[in-house]
Structure 1
């Protein structure tokens, strides 16, 4: 792997098979809470996924069935009895999916158990979200006198109905999977033992499409939110022009004419 931190620690696992990457937070004894080393490894995993031309879709999850992630590991990030926050600030500085790193490949979240604080912030940076029936969500930072960093306040307000965003941000309370689905925080709620299978089914459906087109669609959808409609449509036209020059676009049309499944090469 290009990033040595991934080889040096097992706090984040990364592997790719058949164009599908699995990014796994691997601290089950800590409810997959993230200390500075975990954040660094997670950053390395996302950079690996971003650069790997053979990885077209990612699923992010946590080891075990108790938690996707309980957020930043405050026990290790803050020294009791002091007002020093050096390790906590390191968790805010890493270039990760929800903080500064632009990844236009689709990312699916597979959520078991607790998805709290930085876990929910990470969730908000994914594209498709599958939750188990017993999953719980929350941006609980205000209960500790801090705020949801790494984009938590901004993405919650943009992605959820205003009243829902204010409830989860201001109370810090947990919400169950059913409520999260009602708000649009997750796409599907499934039995706990079907979470990963469902996430992989979504991944397979995306992987059957042209990878360049999928990445272009994601980038346009995200960039266009901060543009006027006319400017966003001009950008869309530009992307379409370049996409039509690709081998994958030619393959897609040819496969349709020949009544067969396309064989995309990400070219």
Structure 2
């Protein structure tokens, strides 16, 4: 049982390794996941991350309800808003994140996926937010991001009925990018990751941040932020590298500077 992080050629692969519990997250695993996301954010050698689950049954079944419901927590914890931050709870990670969904993806698993940027899933994957059936709500972004990523009625069906969505339906609604055979899942995720990692790191992070912040800005504000960001990036070492490589007709080697 652990949260594993493997780094190879700029790609960090995070694995929720608790298959015997369908990769459900108790306090220990939430803490480990928080540390993994912080490492992705802060380690300059990491350009992109893949998140997946161990085994062939579940990506993540969300919170381990037996360990959480009814658990006594100090009321003061409500104001420790930066404690053990998660990707889906608000930790700002501008490096792209790819979800390799290897099975059932429900509750906190779905809210984790909602905070990712690119998504590949096996045909057997199922998605759901059934918290209302347990007397709680889909927190950590469940009620927030889903409204921005699915049509209103489809999102409400997931939130209010708690029904499951299969992989093909998720693909049709643009909830995921692709459905691939199980044996090709990690290959598909790694291919996307390698292509992301080959791009200019600063530009990639800037593009992600601007796109996400655009949802809270007017078009005029967003366009202005684009101008400022592009002006800054145009003077970066990566931009110079790209110009030189284009002139020499060779592949650029970016350093994130």
- TM range, smaller chain: over 0.9
1:82-124 deviations in whole A, cap 9, x for unaligned? x55549x89x963100112001100000001110000000000
1:21 and 2:12 correspond: yes
Give 1:121's match in structure 2, choosing from 87, 111, 135.
111
2:33 alignment counterpart: 42
2:23 alignment counterpart: 32
Q: What is the Cα deviation at residue 145 of structure 1?
A: 1.0
1:99 and 2:93 correspond: no
* Contact kept in structure 2, 1:77 and 1:86, CA below 8 Å: no
Give 1:177's match in structure 2, choosing from 152, 167, 177.
167
2:179 alignment counterpart: 189
Q: How many residue pairs were aligned?
A: 252
Distance 1:96 1:247 in 2: 31
Q: What is the Cα deviation at residue 188 of structure 1?
A: 0.3
TM-score (norm 1): 0.91
Give 2:3's match in structure 1, choosing from 7, 12, 20.
12
Segments of 4+ in structure 1 off by > 4 A?
Answer: none
Distance 1:112 1:106 in 2: 19
Q: What is the Cα deviation at residue 163 of structure 1?
A: 1.1
Distance 1:63 1:219 in 2: 29
Distance 1:132 1:236 in 2: 36
1:71 alignment counterpart: 62
* Contact kept in structure 1, 2:171 and 2:177, CA below 8 Å: yes
TM-score (norm 2): 0.95
1:136 alignment counterpart: 126
Aligned-residue Cα RMSD (Å) equals 1.6
1:192-215 deviations in whole A, cap 9, x for unaligned? 221111011111111121111111
1:261 alignment counterpart: 251
Q: Name stretches of at least 5 consecutive residues in structure 1 with no aligned partner.
A: 1-9
